[in-house]
Amino acid sequence: MSTRNERSILAELNPEQREAALYFDGPLLILAGAGSGKTRVLTYRVALLVASGRADPGRILAITFTNKAAEEMRGRIHRLVGPRAAAIWISTFHAACARILRREAERLGYGRNFVIYDDEDQLRMVNRVMRDLDMDVKRFPPRMVRAMIEKAKIDMVDAEEYGRRAQDDLTKTVSAVYRSYQEQLLKNNAMDFDDLLLNTIALFELYPAVLEHYQERFSFINVDEYQDTNPSQYRLVRLLSGKHRNLCVVGDDDQGIYSWRGADLRNILEFERDFPEAKVVRLERNYRSTRTILEAANHVVSRIAGRKDKRLWTDREEGEPIRYLFAPSGSEEAAFVASEINRLVEERGYRHRDIAVFYRTNAQSRPFEEVFLRAAVPYKIVGGFKFYERKEVKDVLAYLKFLLNPTDGISLRRIINEPRRGIGETTLAYLENYSRKEGIPLWEAVRRAGEVRGVGAAARRKLGEFVELMEDLSRRMEEKPLPDFLREVLERTGYLEALRREGTFEAEGRLENLEELLGAAAEFFAAHPGEGLDAFLERTSLVAEIDLYDEEEGAVTLMTLHNAKGLEFPVVFIVGMEDGVFPHVRCMDSEASMEEERRLFYVGVTRAKDLLYLTGAATRSQYGDLRVSPESRFIKDIPPRYLEVVSSFQWDREGARLTEAVYRAEALAASFRVGDRVLHEVWGEGMVTAISRGRSGPEITVNFPAVGEKLLLLEYAPIRKVG
């Protein structure tokens, strides 16, 4: 195994990169524009710390935005310095906190095998708490309450504080739920995502000796994507770096796109105020994009107020113009993208995996999937239906969480009657009531079902069987290798059996997913021998969308713009360029959120190396209705000299054929609204009750007093608007 010395590592950096990678005396801010080699600098910096002997690998902490980024960085550092890379802490904030809490949580009253609740678990808990408190869930929707609690946590406002600030009915309600929710989580030995950060902060603040231990331990701290850190992450960074102040943050304020999740751009904008002695290095040379793409990107963000001044440059060639199409309809937009992809692959030698399609919201992937299937374009979607959020996967994980931590009532509730074992809502209500009254975990109440009033003989017997099964499985967990144990859980609980019996297409898919889960588990335990079930569960809770992305596959990648951060592709399509879609309607009413949308656009544009396409559609069918939008205002941010406008009728083959017919009907559809009065040649006057999209094109539903409601194909219906 050959590892690299300091000199050969440095040879691969430009002067600014080298300056940043070699600065080890106190706080350092690296302002790194898109494509400027930011990850490279961070990687090399850590490698240099190790290679030069300046820091023991175990005393370096590197925080990345996703697990995938962490693994990539570890791989790259490994290539530079060899096996020493294994001792470096490289992870996301959440994973690092989870790791610390595994060791220290008992000080806060949690067991060390606490479980991590995801959004869905959280919502269930909020629901349960609200029901217990007899709250009006119509007036205060649990989803909203959950979001408000989450917001409070992001701002580090605890239940106490929230209660003091509560003014109106809504905040008072949320305050009561928040308090009880937090109590329940503790009782269940569970933490939600935000708790991982907040509890770590609490740990450090309550136990100065513990803080000191970790301050000592992490003598070099590096944080990537610093522009997307939130207040609690900021607090953690301040705490950990408080002693040695060897803190290096890397980021780009122009790429801050997570303020809706609590990220605060001030963290990066005011770094120099926080650390007056900080050194600042700017990386402005872009190695990724053509000059056209880069210039366009510069124009997109140049109008944003209060940004750190920087201007990216490149010595790459000018490149081809950005192609822009505003299609008559969503299906034509998709058809254009598909035919263009085919052309790029057949005539210009691009591979499918060189190409990406970005959109604002996950729901926008559908029309592309449909057209890609028809046009035989291989594709894969990042995000959307998340593997670890599928019902069957979550069910099985709930079994494991429960076996590991029987105080976890949310998981128990989830599995106690899944598959159906005749333990219904009524029985559960008795049990939950009992557990609340006695102050014992739900599981304890289940075991004592005999003493619980109201539980009938049949239910009691079924509960007894369930208890026996769980206790037996819990014993087996110790004895068997974990992958085998997983299969045993699936078999003995009857979960697989129930799915097999169902025999539907859907059940088949679920079975396949479970096989995949077993495979993932086997893989995990092979890669991490000696790790337990808790480590596997932690991994499954903290995976991000992008972590599951594999760039080796020969397929076009479809993903949201948010997921695209940090990636690059030779060819990029940004679709749905319409006001209301991108920028999204919900962001158009405030200046701050419009700026964030603009930064999101900037992120998308700067992913492209050689070719960039922007496409939009005048009409789309949405929620069974036809919606009409103007082109995105972002298009006007790009000087026309960089754009080549593609006319709707310009493209060839399938595109052209599709267009003619669809265009007529779509335009027609756009001219009708629900509530319009129309005149039919035969049936006379009627009122439009719906406009929809059928198999053979747009359809219109009209209610005629004479003959009732009729569904008509717009293209052929002999109708016209009256009045």
Partner DNA sequence: CAGCGGATTATTTTT
Partner DNA sequence: TAATCCGCTG
Binding residues (CB under 7 A) for DNA: these are 65-66, 92-94, 118-119, 137, 141, 143, 193-194, 257, 260-261, 360-363, 383, 417, 420-427, 459, 542, 544-546, 560, 562-563, 584, 586-587, 593, 621, 623-624, 692-694
Give me the residues paired with residue 616 across strands. 326
Report the nearest approach of DNA to the CB of residue 662 (Å).
Answer: 15
Report the nearest approach of DNA to the CB of residue 427 (Å).
Answer: 4
Q: DSSP strand E in 54-139: where?
A: 60-63, 89-91, 115-117
> Sign of the C-alpha dihedral, residues 658, 661, 665, 668?
positive
395/545 with CB nearer DNA: 545
38 part of the active site: yes
301, 254 contact by CB (below 8 A): yes
Report the nearest approach of DNA to the CB of residue 430 (Å).
Answer: 9
- Choose, from 215, 255, 364, 540, the residue flagged as catalytic: 255
Report the nearest approach of DNA to the CB of residue 276 (Å).
Answer: 30
308 part of the active site: no
From its phi and psi, is residue 375 left (phi > 0), alpha (psi between -120 and 50) or beta?
alpha
Nearest residue to 556 (alpha-carbon basis) of 333, 322, 351, 361: 351
- Choose, from 104, 121, 195, 225, the residue flagged as catalytic: 225
607 part of the active site: yes
86/144 with CB nearer DNA: 144
Report the nearest approach of DNA to the CB of residue 495 (Å).
Answer: 14
CA dist 236 and 198 (Å) reads: 9
65/324 with CB nearer DNA: 65
The β-bridge relationship of strands 677-680 and 719-721 is antiparallel
553 part of the active site: no
Cβ count near 167 (within 10 Å): 8
Q: Residue written as tokens 């780009």? A: 252
Report the nearest approach of DNA to the CB of residue 455 (Å).
Answer: 9
Report the nearest approach of DNA to the CB of residue 391 (Å).
Answer: 8
Nearest residue to 385 (alpha-carbon basis) of 253, 246, 196, 545: 545
CA dist 254 and 615 (Å) reads: 23
Please write down the long-range contacts of 644-650, taking CB distance under 8 Å and 24 or more positions apart. 644/320, 644/321, 644/322, 644/323, 644/324, 645/324, 645/325, 646/323, 646/324, 646/325, 646/336, 648/325, 648/326, 648/327, 648/328, 648/332
184 part of the active site: no
Report the nearest approach of DNA to the CB of residue 557 (Å).
Answer: 13
Task: Give the DSSP letter string of 129-193.
Answer: HHHHTT--TTTS-HHHHHHHHHHHHHTT--HHHHHHH--SHHHHHHHHHHHHHHHHHHHTTEEEH
Helix axes 169-187, 142-154, angle to 10 degrees: 80
16/418 with CB nearer DNA: 418
50/542 with CB nearer DNA: 542
- Choose, from 76, 310, 607, 620, the residue flagged as catalytic: 607
CA dist 622 and 409 (Å) reads: 39
433 by DSSP, 3-state: which?
helix
283, 16 contact by CB (below 8 A): yes
Report the nearest approach of DNA to the CB of residue 459 (Å).
Answer: 5
Report the nearest approach of DNA to the CB of residue 650 (Å).
Answer: 30
136 part of the active site: no
Helix axes 533-542, 505-527, angle to 10 degrees: 120
Report the nearest approach of DNA to the CB of residue 589 (Å).
Answer: 10
Give me the residues paired with residue 29 across strands. 249, 280
One-letter amino acid for residue 567 of the chain: L
Cα 241 from chain centroid (whole Å): 28
With 0-12 CB in 10 A as exposed, 13-18 as middle and 19+ as buried, what is 24? middle
Strand order in the sheet with 28-32: 89-91, 60-63, 220-223, 247-251, 28-32, 279-283
Nearest residue to 135 (alpha-carbon basis) of 163, 176, 167: 176
461/586 with CB nearer DNA: 586
362/648 with CB nearer DNA: 362
40/360 with CB nearer DNA: 360
Cβ count near 36 (within 10 Å): 26
221/257 with CB nearer DNA: 257
- Choose, from 4, 16, 17, 38, the residue flagged as catalytic: 38
Alpha carbon distances (Å) from 370 to 66, 164, 243, 335, 514: 30, 52, 56, 10, 26
Report the nearest approach of DNA to the CB of residue 422 (Å).
Answer: 4
294/537 with CB nearer DNA: 537
Give me the residues paired with residue 709 across strands. 703
480/586 with CB nearer DNA: 586
215, 246 contact by CB (below 8 A): no
138/273 with CB nearer DNA: 138
Rg (CA), the chain: 29
The 3-state secondary structure of 193-243 reads HHHHHHHHHHHHHHCHHHHHHHHHHCCEEEECCHHHCCHHHHHHHHHHHCC
Alpha carbon distances (Å) from 150 to 50, 93, 580, 653: 39, 17, 26, 50
Nearest residue to 534 (alpha-carbon basis) of 639, 429, 632, 402: 402
Task: Output DSSP code: residue 695.
Answer: T
- Choose, from 16, 18, 39, 92, the residue flagged as catalytic: 39
Report the nearest approach of DNA to the CB of residue 420 (Å).
Answer: 4
263/322 with CB nearer DNA: 263
Catalytic residue set: 38-39, 224-225, 255, 607
